[in-house]
Structure 1
Amino acid sequence: MYTILSGNNANLIALNGTTGELTLSPQLNTNVPRQASMEISVSDGVNEAKAVMQLQVRLVTDEMLFNSITVR
């Protein structure tokens, strides 16, 4: 079972408790960069592991995409 223990006060992500899949909140689709630090836990019913996740949302504008290059 996957659980967010702390740090998701603004509900920036949703965590599927069974699969661990993260889904970003639609409210992140703004022109405001955001950061959050969250403590995540996973347990198989016997053992538990915890980790801290850092979420950083950066702005990408149309101009940035227009002026970007691809290097191979």
Structure 2
Amino acid sequence: LPCPLSNIIQDTLAFVRNLSIRYLWADSLCIIHDDPHDKRANYSAIDAILASAFLAIYAVTGPD
């Protein structure tokens, strides 16, 4: 994991912990964005990931 984590990721981690949610998918952490194969493979799986998600949180502000 990158150190330090962005404020958005830190806030999201705190939020899901308060809800006792055990797993978090954050594409900024789970997808290797400079690897075209990994990016393509994971982007194609996002529909399935979101379909099975308990909750989806989207950051609508800047990078941090």
Give the TM-score range, shorter chain: under 0.3
- Largest Rg, 1 or 2: 1
- If each structure's helix is expressed as a fraction of its own residues, which one has the higher value? 2
- If each structure's strand is expressed as a fraction of its own residues, which one has the higher value? 1
More RCO (CA 8 Å, sep 6+): 2
